[in-house]
């Protein structure tokens, strides 16, 4: 929350001795001061992961950003560096359910999210007034089986024209195609209303009621080509009993969905999530 | 915990108006006093479920037990009536892991469970000294693919000779055959070390680590012919992060398994669990 | 959610044999059908508590309501009977924090609450536009130490003129006087941002940070003359670590406060909460 | 769990720029490889905290241990360095309740704790057979108001003769005096059966039932001169309802107490807990 811009680097690559010291040394030599540093080793895979946040020396922010990328490359590591002065541009996709959308919009308005919410896109017109009530641009792009490719092309063009860096699917009821995800090539966070991998696919609350589980869940994950199979960012559950019918699961699930999606978006915006393979390292 | 014996009836059947009043009236007319009564309606299926616990009039315990069965039948309902003076005979099956076994044995010794723990059975000799330390009879019946039918026949004979009314699989690493379950025809509670239906089958903690879930779980359920698919009695989860390797999941999972299995056994022994279809109603 | 109006009775009084049967019998004889019935006995205090919900015979709703009160009185019990066709009139008090208010308003608008939200009152003008955005009347009644009695008189007059049956304090930052509560004589639900009885009074998140607790909580309770000491309806907690400063506790606490208050209001509106002494029985 | 000994340093002191780099650099220059490093800044207090774990260069373990203390001192920091090859000597104090003791003993026997459990001390003889069943020495030192000072002197002498480095109070029902704690001058972990600071002192479950809370808790903390007021290491809660009498709270609380105490002891033994003021930083 400080006024001084800080830099956050997320890096990972083959483990080797001395990485913590080298990264800290590089920052120190350039006059930077580390505020937070957290690292993880996947012993089996031999991969090193680190999130490091520092205050660069005066005037060094830009040079440090470029320099760190080069430095990381010299260690055989991949890095992503972001500055706290950069506010990512976020778009939210919705359909007809509004609970996750309200939740995200209110958090954004209250200053919880350091991002610019630049667009709301939907395959339906239902939430237009709601979005405009928050002062947000609302774009209706209908999607049908026949027009899906064309609709996605329009979505993509809009996202590009707005330079959107993060898409959040707030109970958006369409599956984004592999082509779309590849072409967009930036993170897309989805909320699925079950404790994945249980109850992937459609109507998870009905599936949960059918199976008689005693907890229902929600999962926020990055969208990938395989439905409901992307890297999991956050999950949570709540207790249910035989007294809860499907409608109750839906109602209780709404609160779970909001909390889980809000947390995942927050972590992403704070550069706390590092994806590798089909998993995430969350430096919380 | 009262010294006065009470009766507990679990009943279910087609819903119809007046069931609560009829059951309460039947007990009242015979001089009984209801201590607890809880009921549930599955609106979709049109099924009524009830657990009712009462103090019968002096000397009526036995007659009420028989009478209630007849009364329930007259309403088209199925009933199971148990007396608090009856201590069910329980057997525990183990293999090599001892954490759930210690947990059950200690709860039993401390008086938490109103049952007689009459036997420990295992396909291995490893826990013999442990069982005997608790003063429990330990029966080793090895199981191999070739001898499975024969081994199950010996297990069954032993359970029958001991008049065992409940079998608890405390991380017993063999699958009981459909034939065994049908022949035994009494409840068998199993603990599975995942949040079912996620990660059914073998090595669930490895599956969980592979998928990168943020919560791991445990599930206590009645064993049925389909592996890890029986009616769920209780589930719980605990949070894990990227910092937890498979060994940590195993360690953290042990605490979950103990708590979840202990709760399921307790509910079963208190006649709080009613199975219908592949689900349970738990009157907690 | 059924179209058929149902009646809910909450009753309590000295325990005596046969109460369950008598209540069920009374309803049955008058042609009613019990949908749900849950009861509790406080063994030590010798008090019986029951919540019973039934479909009265056609045309009997009003007569049953009156009749049940008389019937309960004949058993020496106190009863409160409400009809599902009655929508209670609710007022929300706010100050400057808006998170609980948004949460309640959105739930109400989405149909989660079967009540009429008839007024928002505040000691500040800050949330006026917010309230009006939801189409709600907003009444500013400033409160100072000097004018408190007068302000409360105005609040009370307004509540009475609107026939408000439930007041919800959604982070309203003034303490209601004992006189006000006595004069209003209807339920007032407050949300306190700590796990009571820990950290009663002012600045509970600061108190929690100071003490170094590992969980923070929120408590919804009925307001009484003693600050933060009324009957508790619902509580929940969330985990915090040394990494969370007071600002983080405040942020994380907002989500807790919303969930806990929303649940308490829901239970109250569904006639699930019975107060006795300084405690509640919640028939959930 | 590695066979290679590692060193863990816990250090804290006035914050200053470059601390992370200096510590990492010191270890790197001496041929060490950092496995884990976690740090924290208390912004308000201006204090820096770090836990760093590294593999020293061959043959350097002892020299690094001494050297790090000197190095930390040169930075104005306090440090505590432990080697994974050192197994701390632990004593458990008990009275009559055995659940926490069984839990600790079983975890220790299963290899969960890297320590030597060298003694069980009690003011009662009740658990002697239990302790001996685990192969543990059991020392009875009765404590009465009149003999307390003398009893504590005997306890202290015994702890010193056994070179005990950690005392765990596993529901030990006596308060250790300030004199004892000062003289022992090593960590003492206590489990209190409430969510502190709520319900400090005696009979917390009775206090909780009296107040009508909806969650009960347990708290593990370092014992200090002020009863139930020491730095909190871990806390957890579980949900209760009006249906749970005091006996149920006691039973449910036992499971909480076991889990919370076991976790606190584990963190302490892994050098993850740093005390400052009356709070802890837990590097989990």
pLDDT in tens, A115-166: 999 999 999 999 999 999 999 999 999 999 999 999 999 999 999 999 999 9
pLDDT over threshold 80, residue D207: yes
Give B259→chain D minimum CA distance, Å. Answer: 8
C106 and A99 within 8 Å at the Cβ level: the answer is yes
Determine whether the interchain pair D243/C215 forms a contact, defined as Cβ–Cβ distance below 8 Å: no
Which of A1, A106, A262 is the closest to C102 by Cβ? A106
- Does the residue C2 lie in any domain? no
CA–CA min distance A163, chain B (Å)? 31
Within 8 A by CB and 6+ apart from D152, the residues are D143, D176, D177, D179, D180
**C-alpha to C-alpha distance for D110 and D138, rounded to whole angstroms:** 20
Residue A3 — pLDDT band, cuts 50, 70, 90?
low
CA–CA gap between residue A232 and residue A189 (Å, rounded): 10
Q: Give the distance from residue C148's alpha carbon to the nearest chain A alpha carbon, in angstroms.
A: 31
Please identify among residues 8-27 of chain C the ones whose CB lies closer than 8 Å to any CB of chain D: none
- Contacting residues for D216 by C-beta, under 8 A, at least 6 apart: D194, D195, D205, D208, D237, D238, D240, D249, D252, D253, D256
Cβ-Cβ contacts under 8 Å, A28 against chain D? 18, 21-22, 25
Neighbour tally for A102: CB within 10 Å: 22
Residue D202: Cβ-neighbour burial (10 angstroms; 0-12, 13-18, 19+): exposed
Contact B197 A196 (CB under 8 A): no
In this complex, is the C-beta atom of A45 within 8 Å of any C-beta atom belonging to chain D?
Answer: no
Residue D29's CATH number: 3.30.70.260
Q: How far is A93 from chain B (nearest CA, A)?
A: 25
- Read off the pLDDT of each residue in D110-116 and give the average, rounded to a whole number: 97
Compute CA distances B131 → A91, B105, B139, B155, D63, whole Å.
61, 8, 10, 17, 48
For B252, counting Cβ atoms within 10 Å of its Cβ (0-12 exposed, 13-18 middle, 19+ buried), the class is: middle
SS3 label, residue A69: helix
Q: Which residue of C has its CA nearest to A255?
A: C259
Same domain, D187 and D260: yes
Spatial contact of B254 and B99, defined as CB atoms under 8 Å apart: yes
Q: Is some CB atom of chain A closer than 8 A to the CB atom of B41?
A: no
On whether residue D1 sits in a domain, the answer given is: no
pLDDT at D1 over 60: no
Q: Where among A68, A83, A98 does a domain terminate?
A: A83
Render pLDDT for A245-256 as a digit per residue (tens, 0 to 9): 999 999 999 999
Tell me which chain C residues have a C-beta less than 8 angstroms from the C-beta of B22: 28
Which of A40, A198, A243 has its CB closest to that of B197? A198
The reply to whether A251 touches chain C by the CB within 8 Å rule is yes
**Same domain, yes or no: D164 and D231:** yes
Instruction: Compute the nearest-CA separation of B40 from chain A (Å).
Output: 7
User: What is the distance between the terminal CA atoms of chain D, rounded to a whole angstrom?
Assistant: 16
Rounded CA gap, D181 and D187, in Å?
A: 9
Examine the domain organization and report whether A143 and A259 are in the same domain.
yes
Are B1 and D247 inside 8 Å of each other by CB?
Answer: yes
Percent of chain A exceeding pLDDT 90 equals 94
Distance CA A21, CA D21 (A): 6
Asked if C4 is an interface residue toward chain B (Cβ–Cβ < 8 A), one would say no
Cβ-based neighbours of B112, under 8 Å, separated by 6 or more? B266, D251
* Residue where a domain stops, chosen among B83, B102, B127: B83
What are the beta bridge partners of residue D34? D54
Q: A1 lies in a domain?
A: no
**C195 interfacial to chain D (CB closer than 8 Å):** yes
pLDDT tier, D206 (very low <50, low <70, confident <90, very high otherwise): very high
Question: What is the C-alpha to C-alpha distance for residues A4 and D41, in angstroms, rounded to an integer?
Answer: 17
Q: What pLDDT is stored for residue C45 in this prediction?
A: 87
Which residue numbers of D are catalytic?
Answer: 228
- C1 pLDDT higher than 90: no
Chosen for mutation from C47, C212, C236, C247 (greatest number of chain D CBs closer than 10 Å) is C212
For residue C55, give Cα distances in angstroms to A97, C5, C81.
33, 7, 13
DSSP conformation class of C176:
P
Distances (CA, A) of D44 to A56, B105, C228, D14, D38: 21, 50, 29, 11, 19
Instruction: Spell out which residues of chain C touch residue D234, defining contact as CB-CB under 8 Å.
Output: 214
- pLDDT category, A1, cuts 50, 70, 90? very low
- The neighbours of chain A, by the rule of 3 or more Cβ pairs under 8 Å, are B, C, D
Q: Rg of the Cα trace of chain A?
A: 20
d(CA A24, CA A22): 5
The neighbour count for residue A5, using CB atoms within 10 Å, is 12
Q: Which of B128, B151, B130 is nearest to B138 (CA)?
A: B128
For C240, the 3-state DSSP assignment is: coil
- A32 close to A4: Cβ distance less than 8 angstroms: no
Determine the Cα angle at D266 with ends D263 and D272, to 5°.
105
- The reply to whether A112 touches chain C by the CB within 8 Å rule is yes
Using only the alpha carbons of chain D, give its radius of gyration. Answer: 20
Measured CA to CA, the distance from residue C2 to residue B67 in angstroms comes to: 36
Residue C165 lies inside a defined structural domain of this protein: yes
Segment D247-263 mean pLDDT: 97
Domain with A153, as residue range(s), is 89-282
Same domain, D124 and D46: no
A187 and A211 housed in the same domain = yes
Ordered strands of the B116-122 beta sheet: B138-140, B116-122, B89-94, B166-169, B188-192, B215-222, B232-239
Assess contact for D28 and A34: CB atoms under 8 A. Answer: no
Mean pLDDT for chain A overall? 95
Dihedral, CA of residue B60, residue B63, residue B68 and residue B71, to nearest 10? -120
Question: What pLDDT sits at residue A44?
Answer: 83
Asked if the structure places residue D112 within a domain, the reply is: yes
Query: Looking at the predicted structure, is the pLDDT value of residue C255 above 60?
Result: yes
Rounded average pLDDT over D219-236: 96
Residue C1 in domain: no
Average pLDDT over residues C256-263: 98
Residues C116 and C210 in one domain: yes
Cβ <8 Å between B106 and D112: no
Asked if the structure places residue A2 within a domain, the reply is no
ipTM: 0.94
pLDDT in tens, chain B (284 residues): 345 799 999 999 999 989 999 999 999 999 999 999 999 998 888 999 999 999 999 999 999 999 999 999 999 999 999 999 999 999 999 999 999 999 999 999 999 999 999 999 999 999 999 999 999 999 999 999 999 999 999 999 999 999 999 999 999 999 999 999 999 999 999 999 999 999 999 999 999 999 999 999 999 999 998 989 999 999 999 999 999 999 999 999 999 999 999 999 999 999 999 999 899 999 98
Residue C118 and residue A119: Cα distance in Å, rounded? 34
Q: Look at residue B1 in the predicted model and tell me its pLDDT.
A: 39
Active-site annotation of B, residues: 228
CB-based contact B25 C20, cutoff 8 Å = no
Rounded to two decimals, the pTM is: 0.96
Judging contacts by C-beta atoms under 8 Å, the chain A residues touching residue B232 are: 211-214
For residue A203, pLDDT over 80 is answered with yes
Do C79 and C195 belong together in one domain?
A: no
D15-47 tens-digit pLDDT = 998 999 999 999 999 999 999 999 999 888 899
Q: How far is B74 from chain C (nearest CA, A)?
A: 18
A20 to chain D: which residues are within 8 Å by CB?
Answer: 24, 28, 34, 37
Query: B touches which chains (3+ CB pairs under 8 A)?
Result: A, C, D
Chain C interface mutation, best of D196, D208, D214, D261, highest count of C Cβ atoms under 10 Å = D214
Phi, psi of C237 (to 5 degrees): -140, 165
Which residues in chain C touch residue A1, judged by CB atoms under 8 angstroms apart? 247
Identify the chains in contact with D, defined as 3+ C-beta pairs within 8 A.
A, B, C
The answer to whether C278 faces chain B, any CB pair under 8 Å, is no
A46 and A148 fall within a common domain = no
Chains touching chain C, criterion 3+ CB pairs below 8 Å? A, B, D
Write out chain A residues lying below 8 Å of B214, CB-based: 232-235, 282
C166 vs A118: CA distance, rounded Å: 40
CA distance A94 to chain D (A): 35
Total number of domains in chain A:
2
SS3 assignment, position D164: coil
Tokens read off for C53: 């919900």
Of A133, A251, A262, the CB nearest to C112: A251
> Which residues sit opposite A167 in a β-bridge?
A91, A188
Residue carrying structure tokens 């690493």: B173
Torsion, CA B249, CA B252, CA B258, CA B261, rounded to 10: -50
Contacts across the B-D interface (CB distance below 8 Å): 18
**Three-class SS state of A71:** helix
Do D99 and D42 sit in the same domain of this protein?
no
Q: Which of A32, A50, A83 is the last residue of a domain?
A: A83
Residue with tokens 């490889």: D33
C vs D: CB pairs below 8 A: 85
Residue pair C229/C200 in contact (Cβ under 8 Å)? The answer is: yes
Residue A2's pLDDT band (cuts 50, 70, 90) = very low
**CA atoms of D124 and D143, how far apart (whole Å):** 9
Residue D129: Cβ within 10 Å count: 9
Which of A98, A103, A178, A228 does the annotation list as catalytic? A228
Specify if C96 maps to a domain.
yes
Would you call A266 helix, strand, or coil by DSSP? helix
What is the CATH classification number for the domain harbouring D217?
Answer: 3.40.50.170
Tokens standing for residue B36: 């607890």
Query: Are D135 and D75 members of one domain?
Result: no
A142, A63: one domain:
no
Q: Does the distance separating the beta carbons of A243 and B40 come in below 8 Å?
A: yes
CA geometry: angle at A217 spanning A216 and A221, to 5°?
A: 160
Assess whether D65 and D131 both reside in one domain: no
Interface touch A34/D21, C-beta < 8 Å: yes
Determine, for residues D280 and C242 on separate chains, whether the beta-carbon distance falls below 8 Å: yes
Mind telling me how many Å the CA of C37 is from chain B's nearest CA?
A: 7
pLDDT tens, residue by residue, C133-192: 999 999 999 999 999 999 999 999 999 999 999 999 999 999 999 999 999 999 999 999
| Positive or negative: CA dihedral B161, B162, B166, B167 | negative
B173 three-class SS: coil
């Amino acid at each position: 929350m400080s006024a001084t811009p800080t830099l956050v680097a997320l890096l990972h690559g083959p483990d080797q001795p001395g990485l913590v010291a080298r990264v800290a040394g590089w920052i120190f030599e350039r006059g930077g001061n580390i505020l937070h540093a957290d690292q993880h080793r996947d012993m089996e895979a031999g991969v090193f992961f680190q999130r490091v946040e520092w205050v660069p020396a005066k005037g060094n922010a830009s040079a440090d950003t470029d320099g760190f990328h080069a430095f990381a490359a010299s260690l055989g590591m991949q890095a992503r560096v972001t500055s706290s002065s950069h506010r990512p541009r976020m778009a939210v996709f919705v359909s007809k359910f509004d609970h996750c959308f309200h939740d995200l919009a209110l958090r954004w308005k209250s200053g919880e999210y350091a991002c610019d919410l630049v667009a709301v896109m939907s395959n339906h017109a239902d939430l237009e007034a709601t979005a405009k009530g928050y002062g947000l641009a609302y774009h209706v792009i209908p999607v049908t089986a026949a027009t899906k490719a064309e609709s996605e092309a329009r979505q993509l063009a809009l996202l590009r024209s707005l330079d959107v860096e993060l898409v959040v699917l707030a109970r958006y009821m369409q599956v984004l195609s592999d082509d779309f995800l590849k072409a967009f090539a930036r993170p897309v966070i989805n909320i699925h209303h079950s404790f994945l991998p249980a109850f992937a696919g459609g109507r998870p609350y009905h599936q949960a009621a059918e199976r008689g589980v005693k907890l229902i869940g929600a999962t926020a994950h990055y969208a990938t080509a395989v439905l409901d199979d992307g890297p999991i960012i956050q999950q949570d559950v709540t207790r249910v009993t035989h007294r809860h019918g499907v409608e109750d699961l839906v109602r209780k699930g709404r609160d779970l969905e909001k909390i889980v999606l809000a947390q995942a978006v927050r972590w992403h915006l704070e550069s706390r999530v590092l994806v590798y393979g089909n998993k995430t390292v969350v430096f919380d």
